[in-house]
């Protein structure tokens, strides 16, 4: 009680001022239609502002389910396109596959752990063997190559990131078709290098770099990056600097591509390696 009296004594002038100010506003509004309308409009604008902020908050908390739905739609579209491509090229397909003659199947997953500040970076996804994920499957972000699955448990899998000095990827320049090996030098997470491009090849800054499809892991034509610069690397080859299209510090949902004919291809190639 004493604290309340001390508070009233300390702020009595402010309290009296606010009461009188409120009473004055009430009299002005009640006795004047113009002020009444202005106050009503002001209150309505405040209400609309609060409602908009509430709607934005609800939208933010719904983003997880929206992103998950979009990721699944992308996977369904990839599988549909793969089936269409196989059907269009059916004269050159071995009919030993059970999944409508398609070569790759796609599954969506969420990245739940990731690193970019080491020389050997890895990431973890929330799906494993129970969901059909296994080693040597390609991991593709919405913007391009992300990595390769190197370990899998029942419900989780670990992928080797493209940002790993042990990662090697067969890729080609879209404009001229020349291919080489993409590697990362362990420095800037935004850039990698395309090696073994002959000096006589015409290279242009801004050219697109895509996967070749020569390996048994990555499908052909997956985006890797954009040529940023190039220089002579010694011998008869260029070292081409690539701006990666996948932002590894923002990677979230990914697609896992499984090659249904991988075992057949690797067994056939084994004596020649």
pLDDT value at residue 151: 97
Q: Is residue 24 situated within a structural domain?
A: no
For the chain, the domain total comes to: 1
Q: How far is CA 74 from CA 13, 221, 269, in A?
A: 65, 17, 32
Whether residue 183 is predicted with pLDDT greater than 80 in this model: the reply is: yes
Is 131 a domain residue? Answer: yes
Q: Beta strand pairing status for 138-141 and 191-198?
A: unpaired
Strand partners, 195: 181
Asked if the structure places residue 78 within a domain, the reply is no
For residue 61, tell me if it sits in a domain. no
CATH at 260: 2.40.10.340
| 199-to-92, 138, 175, 232 alpha-carbon distances in Å | 35, 31, 16, 8
In a domain, residue 37? The reply is no
In a domain, 262, yes or no: yes
Q: Which domain holds residue 253?
A: 103-272
Q: Is residue 34 part of a domain?
A: no
Is pTM, for the whole model, over 0.85? no
Average pLDDT of 82-97?
42
pLDDT attached to residue 93: 34
* pLDDT level of residue 88 (50, 70, 90 thresholds): very low
Alpha-carbon gap, residue 132 to 152, rounded angstroms: 10
Please report whether residue 58 resides in a domain: no
The answer, yes or no, to whether residue 6 has pLDDT greater than 60, is yes
How far apart (Å, rounded) are the C-alpha atoms in residues 70 and 147?
A: 21
């Amino acid at each position: 009680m004493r604290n309340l009296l001390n508070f009233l004594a300390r702020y009595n002038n402010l309290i009296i001022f606010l009461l009188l100010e409120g009473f004055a506003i009430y009299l002005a509004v009640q006795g004047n239609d113009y002020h009444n309308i202005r106050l009503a409009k002001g209150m309505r604008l405040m209400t609309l502002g609060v409602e908009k902020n509430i709607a934005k908050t609800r939208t933010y908390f719904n983003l997880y389910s929206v992103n998950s739905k979009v990721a699944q739609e992308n996977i369904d579209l990839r599988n549909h396109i793969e089936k269409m491509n196989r059907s269009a090229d059916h004269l050159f397909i071995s009919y030993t596959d059970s999944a409508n003659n398609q070569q790759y199947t796609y599954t969506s997953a969420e990245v739940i752990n990731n690193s970019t500040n080491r020389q050997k970076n890895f990431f973890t996804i929330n799906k494993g063997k129970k969901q059909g994920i296994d080693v040597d499957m390609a991991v593709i972000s919405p913007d391009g190559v992300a990595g390769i699955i190197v370990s899998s448990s029942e419900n989780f899998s670990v992928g080797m990131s493209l940002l790993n000095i042990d990662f090697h990827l067969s890729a080609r320049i879209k404009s001229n078709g020349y291919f080489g090996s993409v590697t990362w030098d362990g420095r800037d997470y935004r850039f990698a290098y395309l090696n073994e491009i002959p000096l006589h090849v015409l290279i242009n800054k801004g050219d697109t770099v895509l996967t070749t499809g020569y390996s048994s892991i990555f499908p052909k034509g997956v985006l890797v990056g954009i040529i940023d610069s190039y220089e002579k690397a010694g011998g008869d080859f260029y070292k081409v600097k690539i701006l990666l299209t996948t932002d590894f510090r923002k990677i979230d949902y990914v697609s896992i591509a499984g090659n249904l004919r991988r075992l057949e291809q690797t067994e056939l190639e084994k004596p020649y390696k």
